[in-house]
């Protein structure tokens, strides 16, 4: 039915206050709008309403378009674009076997559990997936959450008391920051990947019962990888535990895609891993913690986002479980993504751009100026290349960039078209000579 706004002075005041705040966000130029996709997630997309740009071949790659019912959207326009801004690193989000596994789980186990895990929300597929995650990471046990945001929100409070300390990289993901806020441990923030600063903070934190160093394995804004070897050495020296968030590493970093700890040879030194099922591992949703069995047992007793939130839906469990099967069978998909990443990074560097990070499919094209990043991203979309510009406050002032994310399902032609478009747009706007 038509909306019936709440009446009364308080509701009117609230509306006014919210409108003012929204105007401030618009005024600050930090408004985030959402483009509406009318196809499955993948290297080639259709934007609802025609979007911007047209890419002749793009539609061919779409297995089946979802109907968009709103009369505002016309799907008759050729609006195919090449997508370089999803975390679909391995292209499993629309993999036929992943979709089939979801359908089978839906049919076999229903739409959902209508329950938290400890009441009547645990099915055999949840236990199987937890066992598979632990095996994948070579850990003792794993626990599922509705998201990695929840996994990060739950772990610190359950594990650390006011007697303990947590040492966190200043550029850690928002969910780690929020999780740490929720716990009562003593908090130390060290400069981004700065081992001297971490050591100084570890020395300061010697007075506490237990120390936990928390870092993203790979940082999503810069595509840089935490120096885990050095972190683990310091942790050993100062008797600390290491926690890593592997959302931008699980499935594709390291020789077998196990993540940053495998890449840097410290699988036996990192105690706790949190990661997501919502990026490389099928992209549906869900998160987890994997590590020592007593820790996982404790999380099942104490972790609030686990205890007080619904079980993962069976279709979502089916997707992730199949994604892990595919990765444990072969590392060919991860290797193909690494080769494409290398192609993009080397061609862009040769064209004169600066790409932050190293060997990671997150390839931030550093531009500096916020307006330049915004107009270039818009112009890229006009050429059928979907990329997103990031500027302050998401990244530091003067460090605006366009973030490109490579996927195993991009073709070499897709990558080359992206580089060509960047070169044209960069010349046009003065980012290249
Ligand atoms: N940690 C990192 C580093 C992330 O990038 C994200 C997602 O953006 C999350 C945690 C949250 O993951 P999820 O989407 O599963 O909640």
- The tens digit of pLDDT for each residue in 6-32 reads 889 999 999 999 999 999 989 987 888
pTM: 0.92
- Partners of residue 80 on adjacent β-strands: 46
Residue limits of CATH 3.40.640.10 in the chain: 96-329
Give the contacts of 220 (CB within 8 A, at least 6 positions apart). 173, 247, 248, 362
Cα 271 to chain centroid, rounded: 21
Domain 96-329 is in which class?
alpha beta
User: Tell me, what's the pLDDT at 62?
Assistant: 32
Centre of ligand 1 to C-alpha 148, Å, is 5
User: Tell me, what's the pLDDT at 70?
Assistant: 33
Distance CA 66, CA 239 (A): 54
CB within 6 Å of ligand 1 — which residues?
Answer: 147-149, 152, 173, 175, 216, 220, 245, 247-248, 276, 278, 287
CATH number, domain 35-50+74-87+332-429: 3.90.1150.10
279 catalytic per annotation: yes
Per-residue tokens: 396: 């530091």
Which atom of ligand 1 has the smallest separation from the CA of 175?
A: 10
Centre of ligand 1 to C-alpha 2, Å, is 35
Instruction: Calculate ∠ Cα 350-370-245, nearest 5°.
Output: 75
Marked catalytic residue, from 248, 340, 347, 410: 248
Beta strand 287-291 with 354-355: parallel, antiparallel or unpaired? unpaired
Marked catalytic residue, from 137, 208, 279, 360: 279
User: Tell me, what's the pLDDT at 31?
Assistant: 84
399 catalytic per annotation: no
Marked catalytic residue, from 168, 220, 275, 321: 220
pLDDT at 82 exceeding the cut of 60: yes
User: Tell me, what's the pLDDT at 33?
Assistant: 86
- The tens digit of pLDDT for each residue in 199-257 reads 999 999 999 999 999 999 999 999 999 999 999 999 999 999 999 999 999 999 999 99
95 catalytic per annotation: no
**376 or 3, higher pLDDT:** 376
CA dihedral over 256, 259, 265, 270, signed as positive or negative = negative
Cα 87 to chain centroid, rounded: 6
Centre of ligand 1 to C-alpha 220, Å, is 9
Residue limits of CATH 3.90.1150.10 in the chain: 35-50+74-87+332-429
Per-residue confidence band for 273, with pLDDT thresholds at 50, 70 and 90: very high
**Ligand 1: which of 149, 169, 285 to mutate, judged by most atoms within 8 Å of the beta carbon?**
149
Centre of ligand 1 to C-alpha 55, Å, is 31
Which atom of ligand 1 has the smallest separation from the CA of 278?
A: 15
Per-residue tokens: 138: 């070579």
Looking at residues 162-180, what average pLDDT do you find?
98
């Amino acid at each position: 039915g038509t909306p019936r706004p709440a009446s009364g002075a308080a509701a009117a005041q609230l509306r006014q206050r919210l409108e003012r705040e929204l105007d401030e966000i618009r005024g600050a130029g930090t408004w985030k709008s959402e483009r509406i996709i009318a196809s499955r997630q993948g290297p080639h997309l259709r934007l609802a309403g025609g979007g911007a740009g047209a890419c002749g071949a793009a539609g061919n790659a779409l297995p089946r378009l979802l109907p968009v019912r709103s009369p505002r959207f016309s799907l008759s326009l050729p609006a195919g674009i090449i997508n370089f801004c999803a975390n679909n690193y391995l292209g499993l989000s629309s993999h036929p076997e992943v979709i089939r596994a979801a359908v089978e789980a839906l049919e076999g186990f229903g739409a959902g559990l209508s329950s938290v895990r400890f009441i009547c929300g645990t099915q055999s597929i949840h236990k199987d997936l937890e066992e598979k995650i632990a095996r994948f990471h070579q850990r003792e046990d794993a626990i599922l959450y509705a998201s990695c945001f929840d996994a990060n929100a739950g772990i610190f409070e359950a594990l650390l008391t006011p007697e303990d300390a947590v040492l966190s990289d200043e550029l850690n993901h928002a969910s780690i920051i929020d999780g740490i806020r929720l716990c009562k441990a003593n908090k130390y923030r060290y400069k981004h990947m700065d081992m001297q600063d971490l050591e100084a903070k570890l020395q300061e934190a010697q007075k506490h019962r237990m120390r936990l160093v928390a870092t993203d394995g790979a940082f999503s804004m810069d595509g840089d990888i935490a120096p885990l070897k050095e972190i683990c050495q310091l942790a050993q020296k100062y008797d600390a535990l290491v926690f890593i968030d592997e959302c931008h590493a699980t499935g594709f970093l390291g020789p077998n895609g196990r993540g940053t700890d495998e890449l840097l040879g410290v699988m036996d030194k990192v105690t706790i891993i949190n990661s997501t099922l919502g990026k490389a591992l099928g992209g549906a949703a869900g998160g987890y913690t994997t590590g020592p069995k007593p820790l996982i047992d404790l999380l099942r007793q104490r972790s609030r986002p686990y205890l007080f939130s619904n079980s993962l839906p069976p279709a979502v469990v089916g997707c992730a479980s199949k994604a892990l099967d595919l990765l444990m069978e072969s590392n060919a998909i991860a290797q193909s993504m690494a080769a494409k990443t290398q192609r993009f990074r080397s061609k862009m560097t040769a064209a004169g751009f600066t790409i932050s990070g190293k060997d990671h499919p997150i390839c931030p094209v550093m531009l500096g100026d916020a307006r330049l990043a915004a107009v270039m991203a818009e112009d890229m979309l006009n050429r059928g290349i979907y990329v997103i510009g990031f500027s302050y406050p998401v990244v530091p002032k003067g460090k605006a960039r366009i973030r490109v994310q490579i996927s195993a399902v991009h073709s070499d032609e897709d990558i080359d078209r992206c580089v060509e478009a960047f070169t044209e747009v960069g010349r046009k706007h003065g980012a290249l000579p």
